[in-house]
Amino acid sequence: MVDRVPPGSSKVTGPTQPKDIVRDQVADAVDLAASTYAGKAVSGAPVASSHIPTGPLGLSSTATRRINSLPMDILTALGSYPRSQAEYFAELAWKFLTEGGSSGDITTDLTEIDFFARMDDAIRAEHIWELSDLSQDASLLELASQLTVADLQMNGGLGSGMGLDPRDHHSKVTGVEITLDLPEAGEVTVPIMTAKLEMYARMAKLFGAYHLVMLNSTITRDGWASFIESPFPGATETMGERATRHGIMIKPEVIQHAFPLLNRGSKKPIQTDEPDMAVASGGHGQFIFELYFSGRLKEMVDEGVDVIFFGNADNFQSKPSPLISAKLIREGKMGVMVSTDRTSIDTVNGGIFGLKYNHLTIVEYKESSAAQRKLFKGFGLVEGDKPQPFNTNSIYLNASRLLTYLDAVNSVQGDRAVRELLTPNLIAGSKPREVSGEMIQAAHLEGAIGSVVLKLPDVAIANVAANARTTQFAPIKRPYEVVMIYDSDAFALELEGDGLRKQGFQLPPTFNIGGWDGWKDLAQTRHALGRPSIQQLESLSIHGPVLLPGAILSGHVVINNTTGSVVDLTSPTLLASLPQHQGVLNLSNVAIQISSAGMMVQPVPALL
């Protein structure tokens, strides 16, 4: 642990809105605690620490009444949950019962948001750190070498959406296998997490200490346990033993429980023949709530943790940056959210940052009204706009300052206020379920961690330029993304460097692939695409079942198969009539239409 620079006042400016009330009312308490939360002043001279509130506190009578006011059916369903998890879901359930929650039809007026794409440079600079600028400051690396960082990898989602067998209880990083060249074993097939651990071994050398905490679900914990206890290829040690030898301190996991789905009509937990179908993940919005009220946050601070990093495990590049970590501590910020310049592939997925009443906020496509969606899609992408920060879901928190702030809120307003502060904005999505022989849309209550972080004071954005986005952001949500990142020549694994190095065009290609169930299955997608060469590919659009394993693709490629049958473009008959390079299918700026009448090949502009 290092001596931290005390932050400035946490008071905010601008119109006071409901979400600012907690910040304003505890500002004085936080200011008092700020100079002592590290136990030392900037000069290193000891300072009094008697004003630092201790926490976490127990459940207040107010909170107890709120939980007890929930329907008995919900209370009964929560009876077997750990206390902190039960209390978290009770907060979501209370919001759902009293507010209705967001089901995707609640919109945000975009005219009330100041988006960074159209913001004055001076105001942008107050909120955004450009990662390229941080890389010029060598003193940050020196400071990082004294820091203890806790890397919390969000690993709750099963890989069943990619065709992995859910009975194996694997997430994508422990269940999806890639080819890796290891000094001990040569070229081997291993889970993605093997490569991540090798990368973490390098990262551990850049910090004073490196803690790894997996945020597993009650299901993916089995896949993680199986992985970490498995032998490392070509060695006599397990994955866990090797990680420890390389300076990675694997800490106890944090479990993300699945919570009851509620009947939208009766508001009661649903009952199904398969118990697993009656529950669903509570989302990553629960993690800060869980860390504080379970006491885990205080344990981390007591262990000397300076920086807590949250990242999606399926994003290979979700690793704590020593530059951002050091800047966070030097500036005394509460938190940092990582963004990248928005590109055309980010128009309908993910969120973009802006300011509302002088505070950072995130708006997603589904939150914009139909009348404003064209406006939403344009931010950062129309002529004259500045780069628009796009959320990557990677987050840094100043561990001691967070604990001190939450304890100050607790001391001044009670734990009721802390629970409200750490409960995310409710998302009440729908999941189709069969109940008593009838299909219903059950309410799935969850929330996003970003909505919690943005309630905190002194949060900044660390932005990475579009041409360097894959140094921070390379998630796998769909099977074709696995092929692009791990099977093609578009990326190279450099475990002693930045992890992934983009080759060819610096921006990843855009994909529009569908019209066949095989594109939803990783094994079938890998069979269809093989190991393609896509360094010069800008976009690939495929509709229908098509095989083109190992093809060379560049520019814009469109393939449309309306026959309903699988068509192999590399078969000798079809390949003879298609562009080739040394016998390999070579498609560049071409559109292929396949129908019962045959195959037509034309330049892209002719069919677009």
Q: For 359-412, how does the pLDDT look when each residue is reduced to its tens digit (9 = 90+)?
A: 999 988 877 888 998 999 999 999 999 999 999 999 999 999 999 999 999 999
Q: Which pair of structure tokens corresponds to residue 467?
A: 């041409």
Contact 360, 34 (CB under 8 A): no
Q: Which pair of structure tokens corresponds to residue 461?
A: 């954005």
Banded model confidence at residue 64, pLDDT cuts 50, 70, 90? low
Place of tokens 């344990």: 299
pLDDT tens digits for range 82-111 = 989 999 999 999 989 887 654 444 568 899
Residue 478 pLDDT > 50: yes
The letter for the amino acid at 592 is I
Residue with more model confidence, 502 or 61? 502
Residue 500 pLDDT > 90: no
Banded model confidence at residue 550, pLDDT cuts 50, 70, 90? very high
Q: How far is CA 258 from CA 66, 86, 251, in A?
A: 21, 11, 22
What does the mean pLDDT of the chain come to? 86
What phi, psi does 93 have (nearest 5°)? -65, -40
pLDDT of residue 60: 44
C-alpha 196/C-alpha 204 separation (Å) is 12
Place of tokens 């987050």: 395
Residue 419 pLDDT > 80: yes
C-alpha 521/C-alpha 524 separation (Å) is 5
pLDDT tens digits for range 315-338 = 999 999 999 999 999 999 999 999
Classify 247 as helix, strand or coil. Answer: coil
64's CB contacts (< 8 A; 6+ apart) are: none
Q: Is the peptide bond before 71 cis (omega within 30 degrees of 0)?
A: no
Q: Which pair of structure tokens corresponds to residue 372?
A: 């404003």
pLDDT of residue 438: 87
Classify 321 as helix, strand or coil. Answer: coil
Percent of the chain beyond pLDDT 90?
A: 63
pTM comes to 0.87
430's CB contacts (< 8 A; 6+ apart) are: 103, 264, 441, 442, 443, 444
The letter for the amino acid at 547 is L
Q: Which pair of structure tokens corresponds to residue 341?
A: 């310049």
Q: How far is CA 293 from CA 59, 82, 410, 415, in A?
A: 9, 11, 11, 9
